[in-house]
Amino acid sequence: MPHFKELDKMVTLADQMETEEGPIVLVNVFTVDAVDEDALIKAWSHDADFMKAQPGYISTQLHKGIGGSTTYINYAIWESVAAFRNAFTHPEFQSRIGDYPESAVASPHLFKKLSVENHCTA
């Protein structure tokens, strides 16, 4: 089972899951020992199969740090916090968390897309 580490010490994932916003982006930063990288990818893929079938899921992409890094980022888009919350708290998903290697540290956090003039559209 992975260890969880909050990205934001002031606002936890649990705090975020109490809100009602959407669409949202889950960013989950994983670190893992090099010997456990294959196990991490296998567990993540198993989770992604479950999430893909859930209402409100839009897409996901896993990224790996370059240059020998063992840091990964999962970027997943959901229609709403409620849709993510329902999938994340589902008993089947919760049981899958135990498939991650012991060395894994997960830091999930929810974000919303911003509009910044001349740079980003919401």
Each residue's pLDDT, cut to its tens digit, for the chain (122 residues) gives 678 999 999 999 999 999 999 999 999 999 999 999 999 999 999 999 999 999 999 999 999 999 999 999 999 999 999 999 999 999 998 888 888 999 999 999 999 999 899 998 87
What is this structure's pTM?
Answer: 0.90
Closest of 54, 52, 60, 55 to residue 28, by C-alpha = 60
What does the alpha-carbon distance between residue 22 and residue 19 come to, in Å, rounded to a whole number? Answer: 9
Query: Where are the chain's structural domains?
Result: 3-111
Q: Is 23 exposed, middle or buried (0-12, 13-18, 19+ CB in 10 A)?
A: middle
Q: What CATH number matches the domain at 3-111, 3.10.180.10, 3.30.70.100, 3.30.1330.40, 3.90.1170.10?
A: 3.30.70.100
Q: Are residues 76 and 25 in contact, defined by beta-carbon separation less than 8 angstroms?
A: yes
